[in-house]
Structure 1
């Protein structure tokens, strides 16, 4: 292999390693959002996400009653969670704005168990 070919090969290998490292760091830093359900409360009360990006949420029922997690604008409806149970949900928001999430009983949000999800526009777009 001649010198220019070796230089190009080395540069491409370096670039590939950099891209791979960035991808690995990006995946490692994308932690799920933790949502905790308690009798009469939900934490956090506000979640900020980005349109078009996968939202990964781990929901845990730390209450003494059965609760669930609902984001109706994005068709997210978990099963009823018994005390101590956990479920993981993922979805991709396709619109921007502020959207309610809550735990419901018979289709009615439970008192105090509501929050707001703020969906920002994709980077580089207006909205």
Structure 2
């Protein structure tokens, strides 16, 4: 089962005489780092849309968060620390994310981000 912790909020903004415009904003995707596990293990996003990820280390060891195909490399996070990252995917496909606190992906601490075509 694929877990997706992404909520899409739709807000209407007035444009005066021009009418209404729907603005779509995605809430941050919550990623939890635990010793030996990253949750969720799968994330779905759209190409060309800003992706916001809130990463929290709930483990007992130092961990980080890496999506090398999009040049996302967080600092090492001590237990209880968090960091927010954002980027705009410019390509589609399946991309690995993981924790590599010592330069090598940690066992069990990986997932896959799927980037679909623009909507």
Unaligned runs of 5+ in 2: 1-14
1:102 to 94, 98, 102: 98
- Structure 2 counterparts to residues 1-127 of structure 1, below 5 A: 13-16=16-19, 18-19=20-21, 22-23=22-23, 26-27=24-25, 30-123=26-119
| Structure with higher strand content | 2
Structure 2 Cα separation of the partners of residues 48 and 116 of structure 1 = 9
Larger radius of gyration: 1
Aligned residues: 105
Structure 1 Cα separation of the partners of residues 36 and 17 of structure 2 = 54
TM-score of the two chains, using structure 2 as the length reference: 0.83
Structure 1 Cα separation of the partners of residues 117 and 16 of structure 2 = 35
